[in-house]
Amino acid sequence: MGKTYKLLYVVVLCVVIALTAVFVGCKTTTAAATETTAAATETTAAATETTAAATETTAAATETTAAAGKVRTTAEREDVTATEPVSPKGVFPEGFLTGIKDVGVIPLKKYFIAFSNGDMGDVWRKTFVQDMDEWGKKYVDKYGIKWVWSNSGNDSAKQLGQAESLVAQKPDILVISPNETEALTPILDTAAKANIPVIALDRELKADPGTGIYKSILSMDYYLNGVADGAALVEQLTKKYGSPKGNVVELTGILGSSPGIQRSQGIRWVLKDYPDIRIIESRDASFDRQKGYTLMKDLLQTYKAGEIDAVVCGCDATGLGALQAIKEAGRNELLGYINGVDGDTAALEGILSGEYGSSHECSPYYGLPAFEYIIRYLNGEDIPTRIMMPTRWYYIDDDPVRKEALQKLVDYSKQNNLPFPPMFIGGQKELTNPVKYYDKPWYEDKSKQDIEPFTTQSPIKITK
């Protein structure tokens, strides 16, 4: 019996050990299976989250796409039924306005547009505001939009208050030409709280256009104004001497102003490649006709006939003052070698008569292009964040096509008693800019910004 019990004990022990092993193995397998299931569940959850995120991204993209194709208004607006544009069609070359193939936008809704202006104390600013109002009224009469505007009379604090009042009226867009950059920049915060987009005209706000509520700025390329003057000097003096050489005096704009600085830089950007054309005097005429006259009289006494070959001016008002001094002094050798900026009707007459050399457009007529971009934005289109006004180069150089185009502008301006030729008269196809001297605009090319303005050189001795 003892052996039997021992044998039975061994058998039972083996069975227990085997069963324990099976139990432990099953438990381990079950735990592993549980972990695998949990991991799979986590993976599925992560995939679900990814899918949800992708869905949200797609939804956001869909909303953005939808917004880009919808009219931008602060309230329900009636549809516009007119189908003809107020801007002339077929007058301007393709690409005349940056980012616009064909001029002639038609509003989809009867939008509410508000305009805040800083000052209109001189003829340029007065013409600028009158033109904006005239184009605003065209859109009122043709399409039934709502158009309101205010003018501060050169008072920045007053303009800020006026602009805030305009925003409070809930327009679809606020258009502003600030009296001063920094003083009017707070309007962006006010507009952002009301979700009213802002477009600036002519003068900057201290913020990056295209960010936040500040959608775009439409301004003038003052640097190109100077480039055109420099190009005219090269063409005129090459024709005079057979090669680009000569001594030039500069009557600048206001030294601390962006137009004064950039125009002076643009001239030197061109002349850096023509070392024998020297600017021997640079004097501050402050965009003023009387100062141009007085400074030119002094220069004519300092330099004898033959010691000055050309005059370049910060604006046509200064240039016309210089022309008066030259004629009074009988210094006829300088007639036809005076170059300015703006496109004053009187200066353009001088170009046609041969007394004035050239001018480059700095048009106050913002109305047509401003409304083309404003309406396109409200229609749901994307517009460029920085837009430069189109310009005409009033330099004819015995070219009959350019001369005929210029004559048309002068005739229209004189018949209508206008200080500057309007944009819609045309001439952009014929009076083209000197693009070979200006491959990229100043804001895309830092080397142009590094040019020092108002610098002078010693005169070059010219052997005739």
The length of the chain is 464
Assess whether 202 and 123 both reside in one domain: yes
* Residue 26 domain flag: no
As beta bridge partners, residue 278 has 247
Strands (E), 152-233: 173-177, 198-201, 214-219
| CA separation for the pair 327, 302 (Å, rounded) | 16
Same domain, 201 and 327: no
Q: 227: closest CA among 37, 451, 3, 410?
A: 451
Residue 356: phi and psi, rounded to 5, are -110, 145
Residue 116's domain comprises 74-219+364-391
Whose structure tokens read 């400074």? Answer: 295
**Cβ partners under 8 Å of residue 361, min gap 6:** 342, 343, 391, 392, 393, 394
Q: Do 116 and 138 fall within a single domain? A: yes
Element (H, E) at 113: strand 112-117
Distance CA 38, CA 31 (A): 10
Instruction: Say yes or no: 88 and 212 in one domain.
Output: yes
* Domain-embedded: residue 422: no
Name the strand (E) or helix (H) holding 108: none
Give the residue from 287, 285, 337, 284 showing the smallest Cα distance to 308.
337
Beta bridge partners of 252: 284
- Assigned domain for 59 exists: no
Enumerate residues 6+ apart whose C-beta is below 8 A from 317. 287, 288, 289, 292, 342, 344
Closest C-alpha to 422, from 413, 432, 430: 413
Amino acid identity of residue 20, one-letter, is: T
Would you put residue 352 in left (φ > 0), alpha (ψ -120 to 50) or beta? alpha
- What does the alpha-carbon distance between residue 389 and residue 97 come to, in Å, rounded to a whole number? 8
Residues 297 and 442 in one domain: yes
In a domain, 329, yes or no: yes
Provide the domain count of the chain. Answer: 2
Global pTM? 0.74
318 CB-near residues (< 8 Å, 6+ apart): 251, 253, 285, 287, 288, 289, 291, 292, 340
Instruction: Classify residue 172 by burial, with Cβ atoms within 10 Å: 0-12, 13-18, 19+.
Output: buried
Residues 117 and 158 in one domain: yes
Interatomic CA distance for residues 43 and 366, integer angstroms = 60
In a domain, 132, yes or no: yes
Q: Does a structural domain hold residue 227?
A: yes
* C-beta of residue 356 within 8 angstroms of C-beta of residue 336: yes
Are 235 and 207 within one domain?
Answer: no
DSSP assignments along 221-259, one per residue: -HHHHHHHHHHHHHHHHHHHHSSS-EEEEEEES-TTSHH
Q: Are residues 242 and 173 in the same domain?
A: no
167 lies in the same domain as 235:
no
Task: Sort 329 into a burial class: Cβ within 10 Å, 0-12 / 13-18 / 19+.
Answer: middle
- Verify that 339 and 323 share a domain, yes or no: yes
* DSSP assignment string, 346-373: HHHHHHHHTSS-BEEB-----HHHHHHH
Contact 448, 223 (CB under 8 A): yes
What is d(CA 260, CA 289) in angstroms, rounded to the nearest whole number? 15
Helical (H) or strand (E) element with 114: strand 112-117
CA distance 174 to 149: 10
In-domain check, residue 39: no
Tell me how crowded residue 429 is: count the other CB atoms within 10 A of its CB: 13
- Rounded CA gap, 162 and 160, in Å? 5
CA proximity to 282, closest of 245, 256, 314: 314
Strand ranges of the sheet holding 386-388, from the earlier edge strand across to the other edge: 146-151, 112-117, 173-177, 198-201, 214-219, 386-388
Q: Are residues 154 and 112 in the same domain?
A: yes
CATH label of the domain that carries residue 187: 3.40.50.2300
439 and 310 in a common domain: yes
Mean pLDDT in consecutive groups of 10 residues from the start of the chain, 464 residues: 41 39 39 40 43 39 45 96 90 83 94 95 88 97 98 94 98 95 95 98 92 96 97 98 98 88 97 98 95 98 97 96 98 98 97 98 94 97 94 96 98 96 90 95 94 98 82
For residue 48, the model assigns a pLDDT of 42
DSSP 413-445: HHHTT-SS--GGG--TTTS---GGG-SS-GGG-
Q: Kindly state whether residue 2 falls inside one of the protein's structural domains.
A: no
